[in-house]
Each structure stands twice: as structure tokens, then as C-alpha cells.
């Protein structure tokens, strides 16, 4: 529906808000109705053909639920299920606003809002209601090649959710297999948040021992333990005012979980070797490749910690579930690496694209990225063909071993790891990148094979 033809109802007990929004929208919409008392909502909805409701989260009314906005949201959805609802919230009520999305709200805005943003949000919702498609193909990050691309329906849903939650302080849990882009998504969320000009600190907590866990996250005083030769701030303090990204959160021990929960509950951190607590102000993003049903097992992970880190969860889909995005991603990586390696612009012939789309990608987007990088480096022409596309030996090994082969998969994997590490002169970061693994995953394999 075009905004010019829409009827909008604003319900807020603050007369200044009613006046400001009415002045903003009166030249944009067909009719703007204002109301201070939410108890008149039903009468107004029955009397008018309302297309969209702007509803405050808090009222000084006879109904005292502690979150009156949610109460009236449910009522509106009972009375008029098809009416769009945008919640109006103060910055301190962000968690309630996020909860309102689960209760049926279409969106929310934070006071004080930007007028252009409010109008754009209303237009987008009315267009969506009318079936007008507004497609976004990327969530962008300023850090080089870290655009998250996709036209698939599953990625469109993620982009929409990110645009809603990024400006809030809601804790976010990123779920998904290795290589699906959880790191990039965490960075993109930070850069679209109100903390974008503050630090973004990443910690791979799954690789930390109990002693390193406390020292790395909480900091230490000189002499707190044998190798503590100087005072050091922990990652919580380093991220002050910004975002702390805890990767591989699903792999930390129950003892580490208890310590982390205490910090998050108290919003204070105490360095090892001191008794002085320091207040912390961070936005927390966590990520894990452990499925939620496994994470919910209390023998493995504390449920009270899950609730603490999981105000909103985002499931990053494997590449095999977003086949329509493969060509977009492949062309993006081809352009990126052609520029990096000073090659002419490159594209794919039809057979090469078909080969890319037919592959299952156990290593997900990361595997596609490194496949294209190798192809660009080795290509003699500016059109990539099927023979230029060679997938990782680690991922394709199970398919290449014949039934009568005596070579064990573990031997093949060990030899592949040794070759790549030797190629990069022992540089684990570069070796892990070529193998399509995280550094932690590669270290686990090194330990497994006693390398």
C-alpha cells in the first residue's frame, strides 16, 4: 500500500510524541489519528480502516502489567490480525521491544527517532503488506571483503532481522556450521550498531584453558600467576563501550560457563590477583557451531547462560540451503581476488557455474571462497571453466576413496595437513585458511594426529 493512501493510528500517552509524529506524517499519509488512552484502541480500530498502528511500550493506565505495550499489542493482534504494528520504545526498554517482535509486532523504533528512518520503516511495512518486493542483497561491513551477500529467502530474513536488532544492545547468539559467516555477521552487526565507533573485540573462547580463560577475559595483576610479569586488562575491559564477540562459546567447560555467567549478571569484572571489581559496559555477541538442541543439554551447557546470551538468535544457513546465492558469491570472490592478484576481470562459463551449483560445500562459504581464490590465481584466461575449479581435498576425500582402497581417511587427512603446513612454512593461520578450517579446528587435528 502506498503511504499516501494509508490511515495511521498513533497511541501514546505523551502529547508531545503525538504532536511530533502527526506533524511528520500529516503530509505523508492520507489520515493520521492520535490517541492518548490505549483503552480506546478497540473502538478506534472498529470505527476506522487503520492500516498501521504506532504503539507506545509504556502507559500510565489502569492496567499495570509492567509492560503495557505488550498487553495492548496482543489486543490489537486479536482485534485486527492484519494491521501492521510498530512499537515505540525508550532506549532502556530494548529487550522488551525485541520481545514484542516475537509477540507479533512488525517492527519497533527507539526514542528519539530519525524522521527519515521512521518514514522509511512505515513505507517498507506497507509495501510488504501489499506484496511489493523490496530486496536487499547484502549486509555490508567496512572491513574489506566482509560483505555478506545473498538473494535467497533465508538470507533476506536474516538481513531483515539484522537491520532490526543491530541498533539495539540485545545479546545475540549466532548459530551455524563452520564456514557459514558467523564472524562476518558479528562484525557487520557491530558496525550497524550504536557502538560502531567503539572497539570490536573477538575471543576464540573454545581454545582457552581454564587458566587462560580467566586471564584472557578478565585480565590479571602482575604476579597473579607464574607468567604474569605485568598488569594486563582482559577482553571485557578492552571492549568497554563496544562489542565483545565470544566465538566457539559452545565448547567452553561448565566451570568456565559459571564464571562467565557471574560476570554477565553482575556487569562487573575482577582481574586475577585483585579484589577490585570494574564495571563493564559491552554488547555481547556469541557464536557456536553446536546445534541448539545439543547446547540445551544441561550436562553440556547451562540453560541460565543460554538465556543470558540469547536475547535473539540468528541461524546462519549452510551454503547447500542457499543454492541461489552461489553464483552471486562466486562472482564476488572472483572480482575480489582478480583485483588482489592484479588479474583482469574474471567470470564463469555456464558449465563452471553449473559445477559450482552442483557441489554440496561441506566447508560452506569459506570453501567456496578458497576454491575461487585458487582458481583465480591459477587461471590463464579471464573466463573460468570447470577444470579451473578444484575443491578442497579435505572435503572431497570421502568421495575419492574407492571401496577397495586400503588407505584410511585419517591417513589422507593427516598427509593433506602436513603438506599444507609445510607449504606455508609452519604458519598455522594461513594453513587453516587454505584447508577451510578454523585455527582451533586445525589445532584439534594436530593434536589428534600427534603432529
Final residue of a structural domain among 353, 375, 391: 391
Task: Please indicate, yes or no, if residue 264 is contained in any of the structural domains.
Answer: yes
pLDDT classification of 399: cutoffs 50, 70, 90: very low
Four-CA torsion 409, 411, 415, 416, nearest 10 degrees:
10
* pTM, rounded to two decimals: 0.63
Report the percentage of the chain scoring pLDDT > 90. Answer: 45
Q: What per-residue confidence (pLDDT) applies to 96? A: 75
Q: What per-residue confidence (pLDDT) applies to 90? A: 77
What is the pLDDT averaged over residues 188-202? 92
What is the pLDDT averaged over residues 238-262? 93
Grouping H, G, I as helix, E, B as strand and the rest as coil, residue 33 is: strand
What is the pLDDT averaged over residues 420-428? 77
Task: Please indicate, yes or no, if residue 93 is contained in any of the structural domains.
Answer: yes
Are 168 and 232 members of one domain? yes
Between these two residues, 103 and 266, which has the higher pLDDT value? 266
Are 169 and 224 members of one domain? yes
Highest mean pLDDT pick, 102-116, 224-238, 336-350, 433-447? 336-350
pLDDT tens digits, 48-74? 889 999 999 887 655 545 478 888 999
283-288: strand order across its sheet:
200-204, 243-247, 283-288, 172-175, 312-315
Is residue 398 pLDDT above 70, yes or no?
no
What is the b/e burial string over 188-223, where b = at least 16 CB atoms within 10 angstroms of the residue's CB?
A: bbbbbbebeebebbbbbbbbbeeeebbbbbbbbbee
Mean pLDDT over the full length of the chain? 84
Q: What per-residue confidence (pLDDT) applies to 60? A: 67
Cα within 13 Å of Cα(306), Cβ side: 17
CATH number at residue 327: 1.10.8.60
**Please, are residues 246 and 288 in contact by the beta-carbon 8 Å criterion?**
no
Are 191 and 303 members of one domain? yes
Between these two residues, 210 and 399, which has the higher pLDDT value? 210
Report the percentage of the chain scoring pLDDT > 70. Answer: 89
Residues 6+ apart with CB under 8 A from 208: 216, 252, 256
Are 57 and 95 members of one domain? yes
- List the grid coordinates of 342: 592484479
Q: What per-residue confidence (pLDDT) applies to 429? A: 79
pLDDT tens digits, 139-187? 654 444 446 888 888 888 888 888 888 888 899 999 999 999 999 999 9
Q: What per-residue confidence (pLDDT) applies to 224? A: 66
Task: Please indicate, yes or no, if residue 143 is contained in any of the structural domains.
Answer: no
Of 93-97, 205-209, 431-435, 436-440, minimum mean pLDDT range? 93-97
Is residue 82 pLDDT above 60, yes or no?
yes
**Integer Cα distance of 96 and 101 in angstroms:** 9
Q: Which domain holds residue 403?
A: 397-448
Q: What per-residue confidence (pLDDT) applies to 405? A: 46
**Integer Cα distance of 35 and 175 in angstroms:** 42
Are 195 and 256 members of one domain? yes
Domain count of the chain?
4
Are 161 and 286 members of one domain? yes
Highest mean pLDDT pick, 84-98, 140-154, 364-378, 416-430? 364-378
Final residue of a structural domain among 373, 391, 409: 391
**Please, are residues 228 and 222 in contact by the beta-carbon 8 Å criterion?**
yes
Amino acid at each position: 500500500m502506498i503511504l499516501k493512501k494509508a490511515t495511521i493510528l498513533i497511541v501514546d500517552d505523551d502529547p508531545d510524541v503525538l504532536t511530533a509524529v502527526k506533524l511528520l506524517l500529516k503530509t505523508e499519509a492520507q489520515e493520521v489519528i492520535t490517541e492518548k488512552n490505549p483503552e480506546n484502541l478497540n473502538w478506534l480500530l472498529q470505527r476506522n480502516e487503520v492500516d498501521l498502528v504506532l504503539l507506545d511500550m509504556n502507559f500510565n493506565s489502569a492496567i499495570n502489567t509492567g509492560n503495557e505495550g505488550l498487553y495492548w499489542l496482543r489486543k490489537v493482534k486479536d482485534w485486527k490480525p492484519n494491521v501492521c504494528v510498530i512499537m515505540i520504545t525508550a532506549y532502556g526498554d530494548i529487550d522488551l521491544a525485541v520481545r514484542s517482535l516475537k509477540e507479533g509486532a512488525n517492527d519497533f523504533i527507539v526514542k528519539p527517532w530519525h524522521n527519515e528512518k521512521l518514514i522509511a520503516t512505515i513505507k517498507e511495512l506497507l509495501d510488504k503488506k501489499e506484496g511489493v518486493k523490496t530486496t536487499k542483497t547484502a549486509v555490508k561491513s567496512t572491513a574489506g571483503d566482509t560483505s555478506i551477500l545473498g538473494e535467497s529467502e533465508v538470507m533476506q530474513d536474516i538481513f531483515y532481522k539484522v537491520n532490526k536488532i543491530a541498533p539495539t544492545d540485545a545479546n545475540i547468539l549466532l548459530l551455524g556450521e563452520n564456514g557459514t559467516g558467523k564472524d562476518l555477521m558479528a562484525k557487520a552487526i557491530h558496525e550497524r550498531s550504536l557502538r560502531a565507533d567503539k572497539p570490536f573485540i573477538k575471543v576464540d573462547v573454545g581454545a582457552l584453558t581454564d587458566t587462560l580463560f580467566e586471564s584472557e577475559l578478565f585480565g590479571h595483576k602482575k604476579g597473579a600467576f607464574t607468567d604474569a610479569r605485568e598488569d594486563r586488562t582482559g577482553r571485557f575491559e578492552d571492549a568497554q563501550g563496544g562489542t565483545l564477540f565470544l566465538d566457539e562459546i559452545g565448547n567452553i567447560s561448565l566451570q568456565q560457563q559459571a564464571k562467565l555467567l557471574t560476570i554477565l549478571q553482575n556487569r562487573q569484572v575482577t582481574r586475577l590477583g585483585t579484589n577490585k571489581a570494574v564495571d563493564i559496559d559491552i554488547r555481547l555477541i556469541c557464536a557456536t557451531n553446536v546445534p541448539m538442541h545439543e547446547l540445551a543439554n544441561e550436562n553440556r551447557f547451562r540453560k541460565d547462560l543460554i538465556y543470558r546470551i540469547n536475547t535473539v538468535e540468528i541461524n546462519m544457513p549452510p551454503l547447500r540451503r542457499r543454492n541461489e546465492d552461489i553464483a552471486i558469491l562466486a562472482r564476488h570472490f572472483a572480482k575480489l581476488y582478480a583485483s588482489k592478484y592484479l588479474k583482469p576481470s574474471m567470470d564463469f562459463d555456464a558449465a563452471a557455474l553449473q559445477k559450482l551449483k552442483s557441489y554440496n560445500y561441506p566447508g560452506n562459504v569459506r570453501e567456496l571462497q578458497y576454491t575461487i581464490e585458487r582458481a583465480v590465481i591459477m587461471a590463464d584466461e579471464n573466463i573460468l571453466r570447470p577444470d579451473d575449479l578444484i575443491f578442497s581435498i579435505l572435503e572431497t576425500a570421502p568421495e575419492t576413496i574407492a571401496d577397495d582402497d586400503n588407505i584410511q581417511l585419517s591417513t589422507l587427512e593427516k598427509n593433506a595437513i602436513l603438506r599444507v603446513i609445510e607449504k606455508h612454512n609452519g604458519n598455522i593461520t594461513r594453513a587453516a585458511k587454505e584447508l577451510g578450517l578454523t585455527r582451533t579446528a586445525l589445532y584439534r587435528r594436530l593434536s589428534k594426529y600427534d603432529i
